[in-house]
Amino acid sequence: MSLTDNLIGLAATPADELPRHVLARARFSLLDWMACGVAGMGEPLAGKLRTLAEAEGGAPVASVIGGGKAPARMAALVNGATSHALDYDDTHFAHVGHLSVGIYPAVLAVAEETGATLREVTEAFLVGSEAAIRIGMVLGRAHYDLGFHQTATAGAFGAAVAAGRLYGLDAGQMCAAIGLCATRASGLKSQFGTMGKPYNAGVAAANGVEAAQLAKLGFTSADDGLMGPQGFVPTHTPEPDPAAGFAVPLSERFLFEGNRYKFHACCHGTHAMLEALIGAKRRGDLRLGDVAGMTLRTNPRWLRVCDLKTPRTGLEVKFSYAWLAGMALRGDGTGDDRAYLDALCEDAELAGFARAVTVNGDDELSDLEAAGHLTLRDGTRVEISHDLAAPLSEAELAEKLRDKARAMIGADRAEAIWAFDGSAEDAVLASGIGRLLRADMG
């Protein structure tokens, strides 16, 4: 079977064949995405996009985070960008991108339009995410290294598959939706550091909705827009790996199980280090003043991303191993985006410790690992290591995500969102989530 055929089969997976434990993780992604969206609704880019939605008008069928309704495609655009504004959403490292911000906005917009239930929302998100991951693996890291933002490219296909499932597309229509998405998907890493990065996530969601809507209307497309001649994969990566997409069959494992969540409001490449330091601090009752120096080993690719030696702004601190290490050892709240003030760059204590931090690349470590040691002032050496791939139980994950939501948006807002946790009735309509996202909760 072709990649497109496999994706069509994935999109039509019966609900009873979707593993319960993976659906539970998809539900956690929904709650985390909602918290990130509410936290981002005051960002300047969110206001600009809401203004665009109001100016464009159209049928008000889907909720916009922060207020109002818009056509499904436009709501997906606004909500995708808004939820990625703080860059605090989940990451899948095999996909090389963020799943929730490109797919959930599309799913919820279509769900409000069609009257879908909360269970149908999580099912559609799961199959869409699985599609995005598997397309991302076919594109390979070479696609990302070439300059494409996989959240927006592979993510758009996931949004199209998810939206198409809710629209009830048949196999032919789903094929057309994937083909149309192939000529629509876009997003560049050159936008990183600007409003264009979160906009990429919104574009993915909007492109997915549009492709599914057009396919439902009978719009035609190339027979194989993904792998065919001059299709998306051969034109967007120098090293395609067609066999990678479904090398692991669905019957064996849903790759979405590997989705990871941010518990610190900084680059995901620093999180293994932060967890290692927090663990060492907890075990040894360490204080920043006890530590004379630190040597850290990390996957070499992170050295190009989050090893800023002398950050100049609070935003740059989020990409500095040395500064973040000092914050973690000092007990600063790295999970609160509001903690990353420009004043941190002038903090004498952090600057002094940063000069005693050495960071080296280690090819034997995965993207999810960090290791090294602390040297205490009394000469003691303390080994540190952490692997983000280490599994968390549902209870542990729920607790961490709930704490994260409280830190981002306050206890009242967080609890309102977590009312839609795993105990919610399957018959609850997605429109209830829409009402919550439209409201300015203080």
Distance between CA 405 and CA 396 in Å, rounded?
14
Report CA torsion sign: 111, 115, 118, 121: negative
Q: Are strands 291-298 and 357-361 parallel, antiparallel or unpaired?
A: parallel
**What is the CATH architecture of 3-260+394-438?**
Orthogonal Bundle (1.10)
* Encoded amino acid at 44, one letter: P
CA end-to-end span of the chain, whole Å?
Answer: 52
Closest to 169 in 3D by CA, of 211, 204, 112, 207: 211
Q: How far is CA 298 from CA 294, 307, 361, in A?
A: 13, 10, 5
In the block, residue with structure tokens 């903690």:
339
Burial 398-420 (b: 16+ CB within 10 A, else e): bebbbebbbbbbeeebbebbbeb
The answer for residues whose C-beta is within 8 angstroms of residue 4's C-beta and 6 or more apart is 175, 178, 179, 224, 225, 226, 227
Give me the pLDDT at residue 441, please: 47
Give me the pLDDT at residue 18, please: 97
If you write DSSP's letter for every residue of 335-397 in order, what string do you get?
T-GGG--GGGGG-HHHHHHHTTEEEEE-TTS-TTEEEEEEEETTS-EEEEEEETTS---HHHH
Q: Please tell us whether the domain made up of 268-387 is placed in CATH 3.40.50.300.
A: no
If you write DSSP's letter for every residue of 258-287 in order, what string do you get?
G-B---SSS-GGGHHHHHHHHHHHHHHT--
Give me the pLDDT at residue 8, please: 98
In which residue ranges of the chain is CATH 3.30.1330.120 found? 268-387
10 Å Cβ neighbour count for 221? 19
**In the numeric block, which tokens belong to residue 422?**
């795993």
Q: What is the pLDDT along the chain (442 residues), one digit of tens a residue?
A: 899 999 999 999 999 999 999 999 999 999 999 999 999 999 999 999 999 999 999 999 999 999 999 999 999 999 999 999 998 999 999 998 999 999 999 999 999 999 999 999 999 999 999 999 999 999 999 999 999 999 999 999 999 999 999 999 999 999 999 999 999 999 999 998 799 999 999 999 999 999 999 999 999 999 999 999 999 999 999 999 999 999 999 999 999 999 999 999 998 899 999 999 999 998 988 999 999 999 999 999 899 889 999 999 998 999 999 999 999 999 998 988 888 999 999 999 999 999 999 999 999 999 999 999 999 999 999 999 999 999 899 999 999 999 999 989 999 999 999 988 766 677 788 888 999 898 754 4
Give me the pLDDT at residue 442, please: 42
In which residue ranges of the chain is CATH 1.10.4100.10 found? 3-260+394-438
Give me the pLDDT at residue 305, please: 86
Give me the pLDDT at residue 440, please: 59
* pTM (2 d.p.): 0.91
